[in-house]
Structure 1
Amino acid sequence: MTDSTAPPASSVPDTPTLLAALQLAARAPSVHNTQPWRWEFDGTRLDLFRDDDRLLTAADPQGRQLVISCGAMLHHMRTALAARGWHTDTQRVPVPTRPDLLATITFRAWPDPPAGVMTRAQAIERRHTDRLPMTPPPRLGELVHTARMLASPHDVELDVLDDSARPLLAAASEHADANRRYDMDYQTELHWWAGHSGTNEGVPGTALASDAEAAHVPIARKFPSAAHSQRRGDIDDQAALLVLSSPGHTVSDWLHVGEALSAVLLECTSMGLATCALTHITELPAARESIHGALTRAGVPQVVLRVGAAPADTTEQPPTPRRPVNEILTVRDHPPSPAGGSHARSPDSDSTNVTMSRPGPL
């Protein structure tokens, strides 16, 4: 006897499509490249969970940056699936009694997604965090116009700060670092995640700045120094400063910020621009408040984004490592019961008050 409630096979991506999309989406940015997410697929729907084993307990005890990272992964995954012909209907934070469940995705065929979606999907593999000094971004007005359209469906506001705000943000950045300088838990955590090589996680030395390079980028998180000289010569950072702000300070807000951040980063990459997302300035309430005073739009500052151009003679940065798909995806043989019991397996290498968030462009 067949299960009459099961969707036809054509209503969900096949396994190779799902795995290929997830492998691409795993390039999503995350704080310290912790990759704090996991997915479960039951043959019908795809669930995104936060992985609290990867929570930065010193830097991010509330999990704000963790959830923003998961939001970026969610948008990357939806974009990767769209490029493969699948529309994703997304329920965000669907079950109040399951705080680790952040989103549930179901599928519809989408044979002709918009050109912008395809362009941003193609940018996923090229996007990386650039911590070096940048020159001013060309076509900034065009970028801001598009970025605001991409952020708006997530109820996220995008501000562009003028040059008068640079000293304010530099002071906020320095203040954030000064507050952490003698916090041994924070420093131990930072050094554990940054500067290593040969692993599938964390920030490798190739992605870090030397002391000489960092001296030219006053608005940046203080990472361990890398053994480089000045790869871009003796230039000061001239990146544009964008701020993403949410209406509130809830898990849902943070998730939407991550999705908006992903869309803006991919749009920047598709335009040939370099980017560096900063969340350390907004870790502390006092710093958030100081940034809020420089904004022209209402909201809670969540992410400061440096956007600029890398000099033409810059050596291309090698991609940062990512965990393999079989570490972040579990395939369930059956949908979970209310008690949570279901048989789960890793893929081969080959509730109440559920709310539907309004859809937005990818």
Structure 2
Amino acid sequence: MRALQPDLRAVVEDAVWAPSIHNTQPWRFTLSGSRISLRADADRRLEVADPEGREMLVSCGAALFNLRLGLRAQGLEPQVTLLPDPDRPHLLADVEAVPGEDPDEYTRALHAQVRRRRSHRGGFRADPVLDPELARIRAEAEQEGARFIQAVDAHVKGALAALNNAAEHIQRRTPSYASEIARWAPAPGGRRTDGVQHGSYPRTTPWTDPHFSARDFARGRGWGADPVHTEEPPTAGVIVLLVTDTDRPADWLRAGQGLQRSLLRASQHGFAAAYHTQSLQIPGLRAFIRTHFCGDAWPQLLLRFGMPDTEVLTSVRRPLQDVLTEGP
């Protein structure tokens, strides 16, 4: 009989390396025997930007995919029940680990990217994301019940950039948004293990065409990693919307799982993703994007894929004891 407990702790350590909005890491895990339960940590929800908890659940869905992948990398098979108890909405999934097959090459290769993957907050090199590579990235999301809609037309790209930039202007002028950003963007020199650290974003954001405004995590104080100068001007990369056919909590979890699966595949090819959630955090703009660019599918994230124009930036995660409770 396989000794499960040490393996399952390692699986949770993998799960926490999922991306999350402002690196809030809004998840908690309970380990009991061969079962891992995933819960949303509502204290870490962005009350201003994410009042319904949609992005919180997308983040938790990404952690859930890491959990499933980590189990398969251990030769275990995850049996997942999404939202198992309607009376406990923050209980997002029960995952039972049962004996499975030895991991195949695909599983091992994807699992190897879990702690290498990083979010990007700048421009991309001119190296294109080739159609076969993009097709593989897109197929990963579809395996989880989500899909990507690529912006190909220059006017669509420009419109999405303009909506993002308008939302960024609105949020910068709204004190409650600004306060929330400040809460999750600590000053250099601290010891926090969450939030957007100053080493995880560039000191200056290079201009791209079209240009997508980045969040001002430094709040005008000049924090951030030093830019890497390249001979060629940076590009915006491939612009995509991650969408689902409906817009319920289960869909948000599926979107997160599809997102993470795609991000790990992209990381295998050396690509990274930049996230632009501003326009989807303003209900009127999200509705406009849905109607005009998504064919009535529900947009969950706006991303750019490409080859990073900077060195790999840093990230932090909370220690295991802060996110894991172990039962009998």
**Which amino acid counterpart does residue 44 of structure 1 have in structure 2?**
S
Q: Determine the C-alpha separation between the residues in 1 that align with 2:151 and 2:73.
A: 33
Q: For residues 188-209 of structure 1, what are the alpha-carbon distances to aligned partners after superposition, in whole Å with 9 as ceiling and x for unaligned?
A: 1101211434211001111122
**Which amino acid counterpart does residue 250 of structure 1 have in structure 2?**
R
Contact persistence 1:137–1:307 (CA under 8 A): no
- Partner residue in 2 for 1:315: 311
Contact persistence 2:121–2:214 (CA under 8 A): no
Q: Secondary structure at the match of 1:48?
A: strand
**Which amino acid counterpart does residue 162 of structure 2 have in structure 1?**
A
Give the C-alpha shift of residue 224 in structure 1.
2.4
Q: Determine the C-alpha separation between the residues in 1 that align with 2:130 and 2:294.
A: 18
Residues 232-311 of structure 1: pairs in structure 2 closer than 5 A: 232-233=229-230, 235-293=233-291, 295=293, 298-311=296-309
- Partner residue in 2 for 1:336: none
The match for 2:77 among 87, 101, 106 is 87
The match for 1:148 among 138, 144, 151 is 138
Where in structure 2 are there 5+ consecutive unaligned residues? none
Q: Secondary structure at the match of 1:235?
A: coil
CA RMSD, aligned part only?
2.1
Q: For residues 188-241 of structure 1, what are the alpha-carbon distances to aligned partners after superposition, in whole Å with 9 as ceiling and x for unaligned?
A: 11012114342110011111222x425448324422233455424472433111
- TM-score, length-scaled by structure 2: 0.90
- Partner residue in 2 for 1:116: 106
**Which amino acid counterpart does residue 190 of structure 1 have in structure 2?**
I
Residues 1-362 of structure 1: pairs in structure 2 closer than 5 A: 10=2, 14-136=4-126, 138-162=128-152, 163-196=154-187, 197-210=190-203, 212-216=204-208, 218-225=211-218, 226-233=223-230, 235-293=233-291, 295=293, 298-311=296-309, 314-318=310-314, 320-333=315-328
Q: Secondary structure at the match of 2:143?
A: helix
- TM-score, length-scaled by structure 1: 0.82
Q: Determine the C-alpha separation between the residues in 2 that align with 1:227 and 1:145.
A: 33
Q: Determine the C-alpha separation between the residues in 2 that align with 1:326 and 1:277.
A: 29
Q: Determine the C-alpha separation between the residues in 1 that align with 2:80 and 2:257.
A: 12
Give the C-alpha shift of residue 59 in structure 1.
1.1
Give the C-alpha shift of residue 181 in structure 1.
1.9
Give the C-alpha shift of residue 293 in structure 1.
4.8
Give the C-alpha shift of residue 17 in structure 1.
1.0
Identity of aligned residues (%): 27
- Most deviating of 55-64 and 111-120: 111-120
Structure ID, larger Rg: 1
- Most deviating of 135-144 and 44-53: 135-144
Q: Determine the C-alpha separation between the residues in 1 that align with 2:15 and 2:64.
A: 8
**Which amino acid counterpart does residue 25 of structure 2 have in structure 1?**
Q
**Which amino acid counterpart does residue 9 of structure 2 have in structure 1?**
L
Where in structure 1 are there 5+ consecutive unaligned residues? 1-8, 334-362
Number of aligned residues = 319
Q: Secondary structure at the match of 1:88?
A: strand
Q: For residues 275 and 232 of structure 1, do their structure 2 counterparts lie closer, same or farther at Cα, with a shift above 3 Å needed?
A: farther
- Most deviating of 193-202 and 251-260: 193-202
Give the C-alpha shift of residue 184 in structure 1.
1.4
- Most deviating of 179-188 and 246-255: 179-188
